Chain A
Amino acid sequence: MEQDRISELPDEILHHILSFMATKFAVQTSILSTRWRHLWKFISTIHFDSFPYHPFCSIDYSFVDGTLEQHKAPQLHEFLVSTTIRGDLYTKSPISFPIFDLPPSFYAQHYSQSLKQISLGCAHLNPTLSFEGFSSLKELRLWRCKLSDEVVQEIVLKCKLLESFTIDKCRILKYVRIFGRSDMRLKHFTFVWRPQQSPLMVEVDAPSLVSLKFCGHLSRLCLGELPCLAEAKLFHDSSAIDVGFVREILDHKLAHLQLLGVDY
């Protein structure tokens, strides 16, 4: 009796349960029975976590494309891909990380309108020409991704609800500009330098910014008026710091801060 009742659970509930699982596990449930064969395709979160990174062999990321291709839910709220790196490998730089290309379907309308949270490791972001921005996106975290200055700008301009943006050791960036509309919602911005990267400018001018975290050459950080900024954590990554410069930021730009951490 009990078993009959539970199998009465409507598909939507099962989709819901599967959405809370790591996607790898959700896909595995396709083997349970013919009813479960396609249930996973209706998950509302895609979550590839902790794929082990091997230094000498590249990862076959075709499952990410395959999953997006087969995914059928009208909406997707979260998309997360992350790679784990063993601590001892992490410290040996430079390591070239294998990068995977996000398929064009990722920028398609039904995703771009429903995604609220995106977290990507080692991905190549290259939006299609018709990309109109992720209109529901609130949180974006990019770690060791490959993207151009133009794509950063496009994200900032087109993702109108974006509140939290992290750019962590991403490659090929030269001049990062976080600035745009006066109605920008961005509250939290984190930028972490890629040590082996050639000099790079980071300009932040976001009217609603509350917290800023920056790791890199402080002299490359250019701040606009940040009237809401309450918290700044600045980490300088080289011994040659220009004390006068730091004093200038402290005196002029960040005088109203409640919390400031500077480390060098």
Chain B
Amino acid sequence: MIINLEVEDRNGETQTVELPTEVNLNLMEALKASGYNILATCGGMALCATCHVQVLKGLDQLPAAQNEELDMLDTLPDAGFDSRLACQLKVNESLDGIKVKIRGDEH
């Protein structure tokens, strides 16, 4: 299926991004593939926190963060209760309709 989510970039511009769920991507990879500038140092192992996003809408519909993601978020100076690591979110129906703001380091 195709899901839609709203993505706010670092300049505050919001766009709707369409993503297919069949490709087995995580949100970090999908955002990079959609042209967003995300450093993703560790490549998706929840070890660098450079794909930090703030979930502005739909936080409750996401699967709960696992310990390693929470550990990493704890190390960030600017993480909030609505922070997630994009690399730990699988692109599937749980992301449909959410809004995220990109917070992590630029490339």
A and B found bound together:
no
